[in-house]
Amino acid sequence: MRALGYAFASVLGLAAGVAAVAVHRSPLGLLLGTGTAVVVIWTLRQWLPRSASAFAAGWLVPLVFAVAGRGEGDVAVSSDTQGWLVVASGVVILVTGIACGRTPVPPRDSVSQGVPT
């Protein structure tokens, strides 16, 4: 069941990444694409913690292919302000996905550590 959840999060991230790259030319589109990804990561964190990292990885796949361009010289993300902002938003989403994708560590109590009270 977890594998299905991770696969769902990855496909959702892939779709959101394609949409974000498609609309990144306008400031509102860039804000919408990045904001949506951060909200979805935060929401997935509540459902299945590591799925947030799967979503972030899926979101980054279309960005990497868009930045790499093609052999003919065509690029979907140019080297201007909007292009650098979408790359920076990819870094923000990567860090957010890693931070929210960690499973919480249960607190250690003094009894299990052998510390006298």
pLDDT in tens, 5-49: 889 989 999 999 999 888 888 889 889 888 888 888 888 888 887
- Contact of 54 with 13, CB cutoff 8 Å: yes
Cα–Cα dist 98/104, whole Å: 12
Higher pLDDT, 116 or 66: 66
Q: State the pLDDT at residue 104.
A: 65
User: Other CB atoms closer than 10 Å to residue 19's CB: what's the count?
Assistant: 17
pLDDT digits (tens, 9 = 90+) for 50-96: 888 888 999 899 888 888 877 776 666 777 888 888 888 888 888 88
- Polymer length of the chain: 117
The mean pLDDT value for 98-102 works out to: 77
Please give the pLDDT value at position 58.
92
What is the C-alpha separation between 100 and 44, in angstroms, rounded? 9
Per-residue pLDDT band for 100 (boundaries 50, 70, 90) equals confident
Q: For residue 116, give both structure tokens.
A: 């006298």
Cα 38 to Cα 94: distance, rounded to the nearest angstrom: 10
User: Where along the chain do its domains lie?
Assistant: 2-101
Of 30, 39, 81, 91, give the one whose Cα is nearest residue 60. 91
HSE-CB at 25 with a 13 A cutoff on CA atoms is: 6
